[in-house]
């Protein structure tokens, strides 16, 4: 999802024309679910994103084809329409900011300015003023939605203003903190790219766990389900281990899916590329190793679920909702990957069925 220094391809790798992705579906144990409000929220989210991010073609088609509403519906299948819309808007906003930092930014100072702008908007979404659309999209305006030939004039708030309407104090602060971690890691990645620095496996994993964006999305599990877990729960080692396992599965599977596009841009910010460079694996060996790490992540998730402690009947109900939310975040991105055009374009269903990815040609550096 993000990129860094130029990768030197070995002679044997340059002769490859395709690779095989792991079989994620044959023995996948979690159901693929979809929120019943998916269609109407998806349309509203696309209109909001195009308007607020000032998207014109071809960017408009590019970002609406990423289906942020479907992504949110896959990851938050039990949310009501209001909470699902906030999650969808956040994910749509994340796509644009992530790509903007990844592709268009090489100045780390600019990356830090984006962080300062957005964090100020999170801290005071009503009064904070900015000309940056990345910050404005955290604030508020009047929205007009057409559905079934009926116009609905909805006075709503940009996603974080709406988040604050119902989000509990704990999950609100967790969301803000997680976003700060994301912006800090994004700035570090921009700096790495500018300096030509390539991570080793250990440092890449540490950076990727913040840069994946999963931590803020986990806070949205609480928001979407209208719960607010106590600190003694969210800080417990078992809960932390389950979050990390979920984060790792999402990150490593995403690195497999995004590798082809990233290698075509000569990017090494991807576990597949890092394994090839740091451990001397060939491309298929690195893909297979990533697949193994995904399976290990699922094992860790289930091992920790089996030893969840009890905090009492009422809190345990909310914990069960949160754990189910983590499970949905394992299944949801997988479902969305092969529905959207993010990584495989119009061939997503073919890749899902046949598991073969044809390598794209490298672009000039």
CA-wise closest residue to 221 among 287, 168, 297, 274: 168
pTM above 0.85, yes or no: yes
Residue 103 has a CB neighbour count (10 Å cut-off) of: 12
Start-to-end Cα distance in the chain: 18
pLDDT grade for 57, boundaries at 50, 70 and 90: confident
pLDDT grade for 191, boundaries at 50, 70 and 90: confident
pLDDT beyond 80 at 101:
no
% helix, strand, coil for the chain, step of 5: 65, 5, 30
Q: Which residue has the higher pLDDT, 153 or 184?
A: 184
Can you list the alpha helix ranges (DSSP code H) found in 67-107?
68-75, 81-99
Helix or strand or coil: residue 173? Answer: helix
Over range 202-230, report the average pLDDT.
Answer: 97
d(CA 188, CA 185): 5
Contacts of 313 (CB under 8 A, 6+ apart): none
Provide the 8-state DSSP code for 21. Answer: -
d(CA 59, CA 241): 38
What does the pLDDT look like over 143-182, one tens digit per residue?
333 333 333 333 233 678 888 889 999 999 999 999 999 9
CB 316, CB 329: distance < 8 Å: no
CB 59, CB 78: distance < 8 Å: no
Contacts of 183 (CB under 8 A, 6+ apart): 111, 114, 115, 118, 119
pLDDT grade for 37, boundaries at 50, 70 and 90: very high
- Secondary structure element (H or E) that encloses residue 136, with its range: helix 133-136
pLDDT grade for 360, boundaries at 50, 70 and 90: very high
Residue-range domains of the chain with CATH: 34-347 (1.10.600.10)
pLDDT beyond 60 at 139:
no
What does the pLDDT look like over 218-263, one tens digit per residue?
999 999 999 999 999 999 999 999 999 999 999 999 999 999 999 9
pLDDT beyond 60 at 362:
yes
């Amino acid at each position: 999802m993000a990129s860094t220094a130029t990768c030197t391809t070995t002679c044997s790798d340059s002769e490859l024309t395709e690779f095989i992705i792991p079989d994620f579906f044959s023995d996948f144990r979690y159901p693929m679910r979809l929120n019943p409000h998916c269609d109407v929220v998806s349309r509203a989210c696309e209109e909001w994103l195009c308007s607020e991010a000032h998207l014109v073609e071809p960017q408009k088609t590019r970002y609406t084809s990423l289906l942020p509403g479907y992504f949110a519906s896959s990851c938050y299948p039990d949310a009501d329409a209001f909470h699902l819309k906030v999650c969808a808007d956040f994910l749509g906003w994340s796509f644009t900011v992530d790509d903007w930092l990844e592709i268009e930014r090489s100045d780390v100072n600019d990356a830090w300015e984006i962080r300062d702008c957005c964090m100020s908007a999170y801290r005071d979404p009503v009064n904070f003023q900015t000309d940056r659309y990345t910050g404005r999209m955290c604030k508020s305006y009047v929205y007009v939605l057409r559905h079934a030939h009926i116009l609905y004039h909805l006075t709503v708030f940009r996603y974080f203003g709406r988040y604050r309407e119902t989000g509990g104090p704990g999950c609100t602060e967790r969301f803000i903190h997680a976003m700060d971690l994301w912006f800090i890691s994004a700035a570090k990645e921009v700096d790495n790219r500018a300096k030509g620095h390539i991570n080793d496996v250990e440092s890449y994993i540490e950076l990727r766990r913040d840069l994946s964006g999963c931590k803020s999305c986990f806070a949205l599990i609480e928001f979407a389900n209208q719960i607010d877990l106590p600190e003694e729960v969210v800080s417990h080692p078992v809960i932390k281990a389950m979050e990390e396992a979920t984060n790792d599965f999402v990150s490593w599977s995403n690195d497999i899916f995004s590798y082809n596009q990233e290698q075509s841009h000569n990017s090494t910010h991807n576990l597949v590329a890092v394994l090839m460079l740091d451990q001397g694996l060939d491309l298929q060996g690195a893909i297979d190793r990533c697949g193994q790490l995904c399976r290990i992540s699922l094992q860790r998730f289930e091992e920790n679920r089996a030893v969840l402690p009890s905090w009492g009947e009422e809190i345990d109900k909310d914990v069960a909702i949160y754990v189910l939310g983590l499970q949905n975040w394992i299944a949801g991105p997988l479902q969305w990957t092969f529905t959207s055009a993010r990584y495989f374009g119009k061939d997503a269903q073919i890749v899902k069925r046949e598991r073969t990815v044809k390598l794209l040609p490298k672009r000039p550096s």
